[in-house]
Amino acid sequence: MTMYDWSNEQAVKYYGLITLGQGGVTFLGNLVLFLWLSQYIGKRNLERFAVIFGLSMMIFFYFLTFPWPFWDEKLTYSIKQLFDRSVYGICE
């Protein structure tokens, strides 16, 4: 919620949509992988495809979550000090 400056209602709505999307992508990915594996089991291309697919997904996720400079919105929150740091002897 803090990362995107969402209210509680927005967080529930968007997290639900994100979870729905993740479930759909996971289902389709597993279905495609199962159908593909059932046809090409035992071939050398299986390992090559799995490595390329995995690396592609990691690169896609990296670019999806990259802090792009064109994103104008800034977060509006303040960091609250929850305890007295001098009591614990840290950050003095």
Domain membership flag for residue 89: no
pLDDT at 79 over 70: no
Question: Cβ(46)–Cβ(37) under 8 Å?
Answer: yes
Q: How many domains are there within the chain?
A: 1
Tokens of 92: 């003095």
d(CA 51, CA 44): 12
In the chain, pLDDT over 90 holds for what percent of residues?
A: 21
Expressed as residue numbers, the domain containing 41 is: 25-51
pTM of the complete model beyond 0.85: no
Question: What's residue 27's pLDDT?
Answer: 93
Query: Residue 70 to residues 59, 64, 73, 74, 75: CA-CA distances in angstroms?
Result: 20, 14, 9, 11, 15
Domain membership flag for residue 43: yes
Domain membership flag for residue 1: no
pLDDT at 70 over 70: yes
